[in-house]
Amino acid sequence: PFLLVDKVIQIEGDTRIKGIKNVSFNEQFFQGHFPGTPIMPGVLIVEAMAQLSGLLFAQRLEHTGMLAVLLSMDNVKLRKSVVPGDQLILTAETVRLRKRTAQCNCKAFVEDAIVAEAQIRFMLIDDEKV
């Protein structure tokens, strides 16, 4: 119920990934954010970038069965509003990928305009421990 990536459209090993989130007026968060002026919350845009990153890290065999848990977010910038009807194009590029940690640079676009960006770090944990 909290999946914010509709489709992965491009993947290059464990280094780059590109995905899509179609932003619909039916999204539950639009009910209160904001009445009369629906805007996708910035934290959910960052969450969508983080989810896409987790899919990227799972491409490495030794990370099978691991979860990418958010560790930190740096240089987060929310540049433009995302509204119903927009198609959010999400990208993530690996900066560092180790056995238990990972870091990537993420961006979100609507058409050619960048709407958000962040450097996100993750701790990779065994799925069974959750």
Active-site hit among 11, 14, 33, 67: 33
Q: Tell me whether residue 63 is one of the annotated catalytic residues.
A: no
Fill in the amino acid letter for 88: L
Only one residue has tokens 């639009």, namely: 30
Please give the Cα distance from 126 to 83 (Å, whole number). Answer: 36
38 near 92, Cβ under 8 Å? no
CB 87 within 8 A of CB 110: yes
- Write out the catalytic residue numbers: 33
